[in-house]
Amino acid sequence: AQSVSQHNHHVILSEAASLELGCNYSYGGTVNLFWYVQYPGQHLQLLLKYFSGDPLVKGIKGFEAEFIKSKFSFNLRKPSVQWSDTAEYFCAVNANTGGFKTIFGAGTRLFVKA
Amino acid sequence: DAGVTQSPTHLIKTRGQHVTLRCSPISGHKSVSWYQQVLGQGPQFIFQYYEKEERGRGNFPDRFSARQFPNYSSELNVNALLLGDSALYLCASSLYISSYNEQFFGPGTRLTVL
């Protein structure tokens, strides 16, 4: 069965610090990978996605993620965080089997100190 | 444009009761998925519907059922409520049924079972 692991449940950073949130998945076949973000009081929204091609994908608000197939990882990064990045971040995987069962990780709560 | 809407926003029920949650997708979207999000965890996939047919089901008991109407809106029904059913229920819509499609999430219905 597919599963998604997010390494950190809570992260606290100061503004301008660099961010890397870990995500590993378990599935041997082709996968589609997503990072979703939920800002306080708002809906879950898509941050970025990887389907194929360049393993380094760029999303909104300066976020990027790198797909490393050999490590089954899809880590999220941002060079310099802002207070407005305070949110909960979810990694998700959908195996490319034609179905639509998206598996989410448990989430990482990021708090950025001003 | 209106996003995904869900009703009601909050709901309190007692054990053994039945509940119906409603979702209206973004105009033009034909696929609706339902997720359960328990506090401290990521969304767990319950169902996916496309063109009024169930196209995916997660590991939930038969007490959970859903349907999609001709206007693509959807209902999630839960019978014989248990305390453990207390959660945020999220609805997500997408244009088609595909693992490539971005999902757009609604604000959720907070269900409390006493």
Cβ contact A90–B97 (<8 Å) = no
Q: Are A25 and A38 in contact (CB under 8 A)?
A: no
Cβ contact B103–A106 (<8 Å) = no
Model confidence pLDDT, tens digit, residues A50-90: 988 999 999 999 999 999 999 999 999 999 999 999 999 99
User: CA dihedral defined by A16, A22, A23, A28, rounded to 10 degrees?
Assistant: 130
Of B45, B92, B107, the CB nearest to A101: B45
Model confidence pLDDT, tens digit, residues B81-112: 999 999 999 999 998 777 667 889 999 999 99
Q: Are B34 and B23 in contact (CB under 8 A)?
A: yes
Model confidence pLDDT, tens digit, residues B33-77: 999 999 889 999 999 999 999 988 889 999 999 999 999 999 999
The type of residue at B94 is S
Cβ contact A101–B48 (<8 Å) = yes
Residue B1 confidence class, pLDDT cut points 50, 70, 90: low
In this prediction, residue A35 carries a pLDDT of 96
Strands (E), B71-114: 74-78, 87-94, 104-105, 109-113
Q: Are B110 and B88 in contact (CB under 8 A)?
A: yes
